Amino acid sequence: MIEEKRIVLRNADNIDPEDIKDYLQAGGYRGLEKARSMRTIDLIEEVKKSGLRGRGGAAFNCGLKWSFVPPNRGATFVVCNLDEGEPGTYKDRTIVQKDPQTLLEGMAICAHAINSKQGYIYCRGEYPYVVELLNRAIGQAKEAGVLGDFDIEVRMGAGAYVCGEETALIESLEGHRGEPRFKPPFPGVEGLWGQPTVVNNVETFANLPEIVLNGGEWYAAIGAPNYTGTKVLTLTGDVKNRIFIEVPTTTTLREVVFGFGGGIKDDKKFKAVQVGGTSGGFIPEHLLDTQIDADSMRSIGATLGTGAVFVMDETRDIVDIVTRIAKFFEHESCGKCNPCREGTYRAYEIMKKINQGQAVAQDIDNLTVLGRVMEKACLCGLGQAAPSPTLTTLQHFYPEYQARLRAQ
Amino acid sequence: MTNSIGELEKDAKCIFVIGSNTTENHPVIGMKIKKNVLYNGAKLIVADPRRIDLASIADVYMPHLPGSDVALFNAMMNVIISEGLADENFIAEHTEGYEAMAEVVKKYTPEYAEPITGVPAEKIRQAARIYAESDAAAICYAMGITQHRNGTDNVKSACNLAMLTGNIGRPGTGVDPLRGQNNVQGACDMGGLPTVFTAYQAVTNDAAREKFEKAWGVPLPGHAGTVLTEVINKAHHGDVRALYVLGENPMMSDPDLEHVEEALEKIDFVVVQDIFMSETARFADVVLPGASFAEKDGTFSNTERRVQRVRKAVSPPGQARSDWEIICDLATRMGYPMSYANSEEIFEELRTLTPSYAGMTYQRMEGGGLQWPCPTEVHPGTPFLHKDGNFSRGLGAFTAIDHIDPGEMPDQEYPIRLSTGRSLYHYHTGTMTRRASALNEHVPAAELEINAGQAAEMGIKDGELVKISTRRGSLKMKAKVTDKIARGVAFTTFHFTETPANVLTSAEFLDPVAKIPEYKVSAARIDKLSAEEMTG
Amino acid sequence: MITLTINGREVQTPRGSTILEACQRNGISIPTLCYDPDLRLAGSCRMCVVEVKGRPLYAASCVTPAESNMIIETDSEGIVAARKVILELLAARHHFNCQVCEKNANCTFQDYCYQYGIKESRYEYGHGAIYEITDPNPFLERDYNKCIMCTRCVRACEEITVARAINVKNRGHEAKISTAFDGNLADSPCVFCGQCVMVCPTGALTSRVSAGMGRSYEVDKVLTTCTYCGTGCTFELNVKDDRVVGVTSDRTIVGSPVNKGALCVKGRFGWDFIHANDRLTTPLIKENGEFREASWDEALDLVAQRLGEIKTEHGPDSMAMFTSARVTNEENYLAQKFTRAVLGTNNVDHCARL
């Protein structure tokens, strides 16, 4: 049985999150101290060497992202994405609640790498208590003088799912409608207020103090070679243990669901697991031996995404669940690009029709064609990922759809 | 304009708008200014008694009292000189008359100007610094500067300010009058003035006159003629016996309409050539139907000296004819044959006599028009004048100017300074826009803008009918109670024949040089009407 | 210049251009709805998507930089299918009444539906939001049932006119163009310049002044200079049966050097005075205080005779001519020539002062 490996959660329940002294005692801010003794170019190199990839969903190489920030372009910004809007995900909140200083230290390390004086934490609107906690943590860090001339402000979102997308998040931070921007230019070159900006997820930042302290090679040796390190997962749905865990990325889904999760509740049979959040693909039993690293997940049409693990037992109605998901995307589409604004709306209409037993085979064809276009043609990740539950369930659970069709 | 419209969109780093409600009267120029300010970071200074749209995005807004422009300019220059912000190299190399100007300006400290202008001294300082410290600053003005008894002084003050800071002769700098009529520039360029032939060649200049005599084959008078406003006065005295009015409407546009009416009635023979039976045409002995801009070919010259084509799109209605055809026919009947196949032939003739237009042809104008001076057919035209500070007259001349009060200062009987002008939705005397269905539906009547605080004291509500009176006459119109106009000032438009604002204005105080009437300041009073009067 | 391959053909384009620009330079047409060369890019309609070899997603060509050695397909099966789906999605919400639509035959959306053979939409499952046409202004009609949410109007309002009167309200399928609090345009910062009408690719925004007066294919467009203020904006008079039925913008720098297509409310919507019922159509002579119609010969002979008499009797300086800032240079030239050479006086002036 594989065991948890705690890096970002190393201090969880071992220290008092409200007291920076505890954090310092546990070795906190030594990573930052070391980072500040390094040349920025070496620091970025070290992070690259670690192989750390973004923990927000897109899984982009962290050091590489930082290296895109051009020098001498005026002010730069470090932005932490704590929008955590995926239903079933609570890992970022957990990390911050258990150990807020590790996030601040991670952001300060990034700030040193890109020569930034200002950081922002964009916090999910539903987490007002986290905002308070963070503000207290920032206050303590300032008082202790550990952040130096790097300042961090917490800003609250207003409940738009799309603001988890980094450019929509930036628009929102600037006070505009939360709508994604086209890329390029990437935020690293032209982000907040048009200035170079690094946007990373909480978990990504929280990995950094240990990476700097122990070296990139140390980290690279953990987990899968192409997606190194650990991943924090949150288990929800019909699983015995609804818990959060941090495991090496070599862990398989079966180990997650049946090992850490303890298997299906009430000893029912497993039907499917959706990984990564609402937009994640549905994974059937025969693919459960896949590793959770992002590339392996992608290879089976799924996403690691934010690490939400939603388990469904044999009694679950796939078509009904996908209909609800379609409704979610119809509601959360920002309305900017055509295929998403119109596509999520029509996809929901078709799913409703199927769910109500009114659909014919042509409707499923229409839905499939629509999904395939959305995946490739939408402006941002929301629209591109929205069809994933539909398309993966049509692939793995087609009989359930077929059974719903109207007799012709 | 010394410079080009396009420069206000990108090259100007600071724009000083004074006496121009640009977004209403030159909307497309207003758009360019806003774009420069909001998206390119240009600074904006606005001076206007009304808090016009541009004021809302201005770095400094100065609500100066009508008729206090010279004091405001002088105070800004006082700050610039005393704080060492003047461009001494430019002054030394390209100008003359600095000492005398500086001497006059000395007493115009911002504190001295504050009670005259109504603008806090600190704002004047801010404005002066922003203007002077900018790399390229442009001054835009319109009738708010010129329609004063000292309009010429106002314009010269603007020139003083520009020269003092070397803001002339480079892209984005300059002194830019925004001209109010589509072809007012062209009418001037073409010698539609009593003192000059085309391209400002003086009628009193023998060589110039000989040139035109030779070209036109007749002897020409060598003494200057009479300006429009004085023609009306002369008519009063029986010295003008015949008047030919081509597409003008003095019975709406001229000051003191009662005075104009009497004059027109005294003239023996009045010909009016127009597209509508205008207020003036009613006084004519003969009315000749002309063609609108859509019904003829030719050229217009815009405010940035760009000559562009006008093209015939439709036929004139009924027997109406192009104005040039009518003039030719009449001249021929009077024994001076004029015959042209088309407007291009006229242009070909006029460019041989007009140095600044000499290089222009209809063919060349196809590519977006040409800006004068354009002396030869290979000359590309001139986007901005006085390049590198080389003035056409040699050295740029500073003028020492003192503030004078408007002709009519407010007093107990007439305590308000009334200003007149245009609105976005109408144009000049309304001859066209009152007949443009959508415009007239949207804004069917004039309003009198009154300061909100003052209206409250008088018990006047927004939309209430009030009486506005001057020593010349009075009108009833709806009050528009607003905080966008300074206390002690009122404003209305002169578009509406039902409420012809020029019954209120004065023909008494003309600028001594330009003979412009003081439309921007008439001492006036506003009276609340009794319930009876309101319905009646 | 960089070299890349588009549809199997090696082409060149300046460094820094987008894929769309590279295509346009090389005569390859790409459909666009939200793209407007004078406006900030949106990249939102996704009609201009192309396939870039090695990239998993389709690239919106209007916002994707062209890179050296890129291999691009602009009309692959997948791309055509994507465009069809996008058009069908828009068609499912668009209110087609082309037979009476002002934009008929001048509608980008209609053109693409034709080009891609969109006879019906697979996605017309239910109707979209139905919007009432309620804005009471006399200038422009807003019909959101035809809106395809390209946001060109929003960007034109923001960037050309800088009025910032409209923006997108609501989210997802409920998104619509709106003034603040969805009020009437007249109560917003709107200045009715009609720049939104100019850039709208469908019949969602049209001129009320021109409504019903002529189809785009029935009118001739005559480029000319505006008759109002001194800015010197140029525009096209739309002419049908010898009548002006509308004003449109020529947006090229050659056709519109001053305003690049931008106009104000008077220029775009204030032209119907040209055909006002009370235009003067015949010379008039006043007799006993009343005007009567006259022929040109009679009227001009009378004028010639009277001016001649007065000149003889009172001298040339007893006469004056008010020429006009309204008429052409050629006419002003002749007016002063007439005054000086025929009347023999310099008493010529115009309203420059007024």
| A100 burial via Cβ count (<10 Å: 0-12, 13-18, 19+) | buried
Q: What is the pLDDT of residue C351?
A: 78
User: pLDDT tens across B6-43, in order?
Assistant: 999 999 999 999 999 999 999 999 999 999 999 999 99
Per-residue pLDDT at A79 exceeds 90: yes
Look at residue B408 and tell me if it is in a domain.
Answer: no
Please, what is the angle between helix A202-214 and helix A91-98, to 10°? 50
Query: For A90-99, B241-250, C121-130, which range has the lowest pLDDT when averaged over its residues?
Result: C121-130
- Report the C-alpha gap between A262 and B285 in whole angstroms: 107
My answer on whether B99 and B154 are in the same domain is yes
Question: C216-275 has which fold?
Answer: N-terminal domain of TfIIb (2.20.25)
Q: What is the pLDDT of residue B394?
A: 82
Q: What is the pLDDT of residue B256?
A: 82
User: pLDDT tens across A289-321, in order?
Assistant: 999 999 999 999 888 888 999 999 999 999 999
Pairing of strands B465-469, B522-528: antiparallel
My answer on whether B21 and B67 are in the same domain is yes
pLDDT (average), residues C71-88: 97
Helix %, strand %, coil % for chain C, to 5? Answer: 30, 20, 50
User: pLDDT tens across B487-532, in order?
Assistant: 999 999 999 989 988 889 888 888 888 888 888 889 999 999 888 7
Q: What is the pLDDT of residue A309?
A: 95
My answer on whether B138 and B42 are in the same domain is yes
Asked whether B402 and B112 are in contact (CB, 8 A), the reply is no
- Report the C-alpha gap between A246 and B330 in whole angstroms: 99
State how far residue B178 is from chain C, nearest Cα, in angstroms.
7
Q: Kindly determine whether residue C304 and residue B517, on different chains, have CB atoms separated by under 8 Å.
A: no
Tokens, residue A210: 């240990």
Q: Kindly determine whether residue A335 and residue C42, on different chains, have CB atoms separated by under 8 Å.
A: no
User: pLDDT tens across A9-57, in order?
Assistant: 999 999 999 999 999 999 999 999 999 999 999 999 999 999 999 998 8
- Report the C-alpha gap between B58 and B44 in whole angstroms: 5
Of C63, C125, C149, the CB nearest to A350: C125
pLDDT (average), residues B252-260: 82
Question: A20-221 has which fold?
Answer: Rossmann fold (3.40.50)
Q: How confident is the model at residue A347 (pLDDT cuts 50, 70, 90)?
A: very high
Asked if C113 reaches chain A (Cβ–Cβ under 8 Å), the answer is: no
Q: Kindly determine whether residue A343 and residue C58, on different chains, have CB atoms separated by under 8 Å.
A: no
Asked if B197 reaches chain C (Cβ–Cβ under 8 Å), the answer is: yes
Look at residue B292 and tell me if it is in a domain.
Answer: yes
- Contacts across the B-C interface (CB distance below 8 Å): 464
My answer on whether B55 and B120 are in the same domain is yes
Of B244, B299, B349, the CB nearest to C328: B299
Asked whether B494 and B500 are in contact (CB, 8 A), the reply is yes
Q: What is the pLDDT of residue C317?
A: 94
Q: Kindly determine whether residue C172 and residue A349, on different chains, have CB atoms separated by under 8 Å.
A: no
Contacts of B244 in chain C (CB under 8 A): 307, 319-322, 339
Q: What is the pLDDT of residue C354?
A: 65
Q: Kindly determine whether residue A346 and residue C172, on different chains, have CB atoms separated by under 8 Å.
A: no
Could you list the beta-strand ranges (E) of B26-128: 43-47, 60-62, 95-96
Strand, helix or coil at B2? coil
Mutation target to probe the A interface, by most A beta carbons within 10 A, among C113, C125, C151, C170 is C125
Per-residue pLDDT at B205 exceeds 70: yes
Q: What is the pLDDT of residue A348?
A: 97
State how far residue B44 is from chain C, nearest Cα, in angstroms.
15
| B240 burial via Cβ count (<10 Å: 0-12, 13-18, 19+) | buried
pLDDT (average), residues C110-130: 89
pLDDT (average), residues B441-462: 94
- Report the C-alpha gap between B310 and B312 in whole angstroms: 7
User: pLDDT tens across A277-294, in order?
Assistant: 898 999 999 999 999 999
Partner C, chain B 28-57, Cβ-Cβ below 8 Å: 28-29, 31, 34-35, 38-39
Per-residue pLDDT at B228 exceeds 90: no
Percent of chain B with pLDDT over 90: 79
Q: What CATH code is assigned to C2-75?
A: 3.10.20.740
Q: What is the pLDDT of residue B509?
A: 85
φ, ψ dihedrals at B480, nearest 5°: -110, 105
Identify which of A150, C341, C3 has the alpha carbon closest to the alpha carbon of residue B328.
C341
Per-residue pLDDT at A342 exceeds 70: yes
Measured between CA atoms, the residue of chain C closest to residue B438 is: C138
Structure letter (DSSP) for residue C341? I
Q: Kindly determine whether residue C225 and residue B300, on different chains, have CB atoms separated by under 8 Å.
A: yes
Q: Kindly determine whether residue C224 and residue B301, on different chains, have CB atoms separated by under 8 Å.
A: no
Q: Kindly determine whether residue C304 and residue B330, on different chains, have CB atoms separated by under 8 Å.
A: yes
Q: Which domain holds residue B266?
A: 184-371
CATH classification of the domain holding B363: 3.40.50.740
- Report the C-alpha gap between B508 and B526 in whole angstroms: 22
Per-residue pLDDT at C129 exceeds 70: no
Look at residue B501 and tell me if it is in a domain.
Answer: yes
* Contacts for A22 with CB less than 8 Å, ≥ 6 apart: A11, A15, A16
Distances (CA, A) of C288 to A185, B500, C161: 79, 27, 53
My answer on whether B204 and B90 are in the same domain is no
User: pLDDT tens across A102-121, in order?
Assistant: 999 999 999 999 999 999 99
Q: Kindly determine whether residue A182 and residue C86, on different chains, have CB atoms separated by under 8 Å.
A: no
Q: What is the pLDDT of residue C296?
A: 97
State the chains in contact with C (3 or more Cβ–Cβ pairs under 8 Å).
A, B
Per-residue pLDDT at A408 exceeds 80: no
Look at residue B155 and tell me if it is in a domain.
Answer: yes
My answer on whether B346 and B492 are in the same domain is no
User: pLDDT tens across B268-323, in order?
Assistant: 999 999 999 998 999 999 999 999 999 999 999 999 999 999 999 999 999 999 99
Of B34, B226, B338, the CB nearest to C347: B226
Measured between CA atoms, the residue of chain C closest to residue A351 is: C125
Tokens, residue C9: 């053909």
- ipTM comes to 0.93
State how far residue A60 is from chain C, nearest Cα, in angstroms.
15
Q: Which helix (H) or strand (E) holds C298?
A: helix C296-314
- Report the C-alpha gap between B159 and B169 in whole angstroms: 12
Distance in angstroms between the alpha carbons of the first and the last residue of chain C: 55
Considering chain A, tell me which residue range(s) the CATH 1.20.1440.230 domain(s) occupy.
318-404
Q: Kindly determine whether residue B192 and residue C336, on different chains, have CB atoms separated by under 8 Å.
A: yes
Identify which of A10, A16, A17 has the alpha carbon closest to the alpha carbon of residue A219.
A10
Partner C, chain B 460-489, Cβ-Cβ below 8 Å: none
Mean residue pLDDT across chain C: 95
Pairing of strands B416-421, B522-528: antiparallel
My answer on whether B200 and B167 are in the same domain is no
Q: What is the pLDDT of residue A1?
A: 62
Per-residue pLDDT at A72 exceeds 90: no
Of B183, B217, B318, the CB nearest to C325: B183
Contacts of B326 in chain C (CB under 8 A): 300
Measured between CA atoms, the residue of chain C closest to residue A333 is: C172
- Report the C-alpha gap between B81 and B84 in whole angstroms: 5
Asked if A172 reaches chain C (Cβ–Cβ under 8 Å), the answer is: no
User: pLDDT tens across B74-111, in order?
Assistant: 999 999 999 999 999 999 999 999 999 999 999 999 99
- Report the C-alpha gap between A154 and A151 in whole angstroms: 10
Of C137, C262, C330, the CB nearest to B350: C330
Torsion of CA A315, A319, A322, A324, to 10 degrees: -80
Measured between CA atoms, the residue of chain B closest to residue C345 is: B221
Asked whether C191 and B67 are in contact (CB, 8 A), the reply is no
Look at residue B139 and tell me if it is in a domain.
Answer: yes
Percent of chain C with pLDDT over 90: 95
Asked if B328 reaches chain C (Cβ–Cβ under 8 Å), the answer is: yes
Asked if B7 reaches chain C (Cβ–Cβ under 8 Å), the answer is: no
Q: Which CATH architecture has domain A227-313?
A: Roll (3.10)
Asked if A318 reaches chain C (Cβ–Cβ under 8 Å), the answer is: no
Look at residue B406 and tell me if it is in a domain.
Answer: no
pLDDT (average), residues C86-104: 94
Look at residue B411 and tell me if it is in a domain.
Answer: no
Q: What is the pLDDT of residue A287?
A: 96
My answer on whether B64 and B161 are in the same domain is yes
Look at residue B391 and tell me if it is in a domain.
Answer: no
Partner A, chain C 75-104, Cβ-Cβ below 8 Å: 78, 81-82, 85-86, 89-90, 92-93
pLDDT (average), residues C102-110: 95
- C89-207 is classed CATH 3.30.70.20: yes
Q: Kindly determine whether residue A184 and residue C65, on different chains, have CB atoms separated by under 8 Å.
A: yes
Tokens, residue B157: 């003050």
Question: A318-404 has which fold?
Answer: de novo design (two linked rop proteins) (1.20.1440)
Q: Sketch the domain layout of chain C as residue ranges.
A: 2-75, 89-207, 216-275, 284-353
Q: What is the pLDDT of residue C291?
A: 96
Distance in angstroms between the alpha carbons of the first and the last residue of chain B: 48
Q: Kindly determine whether residue C352 and residue B223, on different chains, have CB atoms separated by under 8 Å.
A: no
Asked whether B268 and C320 are in contact (CB, 8 A), the reply is no
Mean residue pLDDT across chain A: 95
Q: Do chains B and A touch (3 or more CB pairs under 8 A)?
A: no
My answer on whether B137 and B86 are in the same domain is yes
Q: Kindly determine whether residue C333 and residue B182, on different chains, have CB atoms separated by under 8 Å.
A: no
Give chain B's domain count.
3
Of C33, C41, C173, the CB nearest to A345: C173
Measured between CA atoms, the residue of chain C closest to residue B231 is: C320
Q: What is the pLDDT of residue B41?
A: 94
User: pLDDT tens across A139-195, in order?
Assistant: 999 999 999 999 999 999 988 999 999 999 999 999 999 999 999 999 999 999 999
Q: Kindly determine whether residue B39 and residue C159, on different chains, have CB atoms separated by under 8 Å.
A: yes
Identify which of B113, B98, B118 has the alpha carbon closest to the alpha carbon of residue B161.
B98
